[in-house]
Every structure is written in structure tokens, then in C-alpha cells.
Amino acid sequence: MSGTSSLIVNLFRILPSEDTVRVYYIESSDMESINLCVHTLRDAGCIAAPQYSEYLGLPPGIYFVCENPKVLKELNIEYTDKRIESCSYIMKYLVLNAIVKKVNELEARRLLYLPEGRGFAFSQVICCDRGVIMYSRPHGLFVLRPCLILRVEHYYVEGENMLFLLADLRFKRFNLLTLSKLIEVLEKKGFEWTEIRNMLCGHYYTCRIEGRRQACMLKDIIKEQSHIEAIVMTRSGQKRLLADSIWLNPHPKHTRDFIRDVLGENLDEVWMQQRKYGSVRPKVKIEMVREYIKKLLIENGVFPLRISNVEYSLDMRPQKLLLVSSDEL
């Protein structure tokens, strides 16, 4: 029996205001040199993307956009102007890089929440609503937040380049397990200071050093008059840090048992709510994705997205795929 059917998917067309975009180009075919240059440009505030081999008529090298002439002068690099199709393959990386830049700015203004260390990886960006679906009880040590996982995809169909935003919605669980918060909870439960030190030193932690998180072991806790510090062992040696910059790693089983049995936190309610949101029907999920794109990306001004001379807007109609039975092919 022959026939066709359609399926609505979470792809949203990205539409450019012009057919071509003005970019800068650095010729190179060496992967290591390309990667180094891309990182240098991004660190300087430019949006940049690598192309390692010729593809769809674009030669290998670095394609980038930089709005600050002073930065280009300070970098002291040789580049040429280039006009390319505004939906060409390399633009999927430049558009995503521009989204990341805007999302980071919104996070700095506390309009969005970014998972630390996981915001931009594997060609995707994760951005979350600062609003909380729910807190765990009774101490609010875990929160459930709606998060968009965004990718930019390129398709070349019948001679036409097209860009799409691939968006998924996940309800992610985050923890507020700072060492200072743990001590506060244990003190309220009536534990003595010696007991608290002994209980907390038997777990794994992460800490923030020079803006980056890394794994650490807790060696000792020092209670000062106005604040609490801790001695931790990291891969770079022993450090003395504020308790607010140290987080408990909740994943080992004995630590989960400690959170549940000693701290008394009820995790089941958060997990049940997370599973509930994760099991909605596809049609409902698509509508939820649309609503969060509007809330997080449109209302916050991520889109329309300006790159060089082109403004990229988002068609909020999810794409419809036409499914054709095999005997019609």
C-alpha cells in the first residue's frame, strides 16, 4: 500500500536578510594551525570557525567576523575579505558561535543560566531558564530547570544551502551543594564541629580556581570569625579556598546516601518531576520547545542575530518532514 505522511520535527529555519555575507578569511590547510588561530580569534572576542578541507566550493582555512578594528590590529594577522553565501556550510559554525557569544552576555547579566563547564561543547550550546521548576525539600539543595540544547545544522538540497536551528528541551537537575551550604545544614541539625569536619572530609569535591572548576579532595575545614575556608588537594597541589567556591560531587553512592540519610534531603520528588517532564508526547514537546525558544532566545534578543552585514531571523514554524512509502520511491 502506497502513500505519504508527514512528521513535525524540532528544526526551525534560520533566514538571512541577504544572499551573501562579508567575512574575513585566512588561508591554511594545516589542522593544528587552523585550530590555534580559531582559538586565538575567539579569545579576542571574534566569532571564528575552521574549515579543514574544501567543501561545497569553499577552500580550507579560517573564516571569521570581527567588529572591532583595534582587535584586528593588535592580533597582527594577515587576512583577506571574502563574500560567501549567507547560508553556506561554514556559516553553521559562525552562527552557532554568535549564539554562544550572545548567550554568554545574557548569562553575565543574569538573564540566562549556563551549566558551568558544559555551556558550549560538541558543536552545541546549552542555555537554561533562570526560573526554577522546583527545589528539593527541605533544604533546597537541588533545583530543576528547563534547558534548551541548541545546534545549528546545514543542509544542501537541490543546489540550495539552508541553515536550521535544531532545538531540544531538557529538564535538568542542578545542585547547590557548596561546602558552606552543607556546613549550614549540618549545624542546624545540631552536629558538633568535629563531627561535621569528619563527615565532610570523606567525599569528592570540585572547586573553582582562576575561574575554572577542577576535581579536588577535602583535607581540612577552617572556621574563621567571618567566613569558612578549606584546605583542598588538587592536581596542581594544595590550595586554601573559601567554602563558597567548593562543591560536593553528589554522584558516588555513599555521597547520595549521605545527602539523603544525614542531610535529610528528599531527592525522589525532583527525580519524579524530571521524569514526568521528560515523558511528554512529541506534539506537546514541540510546542514546549517553541515556547522556550521564544522566551529564552527571542525575548532576550538572541534572535534576530546580526553577523557582519546580515541579520539572521528565526522562522518559528517547526519543519515538517514528508515521509514517502518505499514503493513510491
Statement to judge: residues 168 and 287 lie in one domain: yes
CATH of the domain at 200: 2.30.30
Q: How far, in Å, CA of 241 to CA of 244, rounded?
A: 8
Grid cell in block for residue 245: 567556591
Tell me the residue length of the chain: 329
Establish if 185 belongs to a structural domain: yes
Give the residue numbers spanning the domain of 214: 179-249
Statement to judge: residues 64 and 193 lie in one domain: no
What is the pLDDT at residue 1?
46
Statement to judge: residues 135 and 101 lie in one domain: yes
Statement to judge: residues 289 and 159 lie in one domain: yes
Statement to judge: residues 73 and 221 lie in one domain: no
Statement to judge: residues 150 and 171 lie in one domain: yes
Establish if 260 belongs to a structural domain: no
Asked if 84 contacts 21 with a C-beta cutoff of 8 angstroms, the reply is: yes
Question: Would you give the end-to-end CA distance of the chain in angstroms?
Answer: 13
Number of domains in the chain: 3
Statement to judge: residues 34 and 165 lie in one domain: no
CA angle 179-181-184, nearest 5°? 110
Statement to judge: residues 77 and 197 lie in one domain: no
What are the distances in angstroms from CA 8 to CA 5, 108, 109?
Answer: 10, 35, 35
Establish if 169 belongs to a structural domain: yes
Residue-wise pLDDT for 141-189, tens only, equals 999 999 999 999 999 988 899 999 999 999 999 999 999 999 999 999 9
Give me the average pLDDT of each 10-residue run along the chain (329 residues). 71 97 95 93 93 94 92 89 96 95 92 72 84 94 95 92 96 94 96 93 89 88 88 91 94 94 93 88 91 96 96 93 62
Statement to judge: residues 160 and 288 lie in one domain: yes
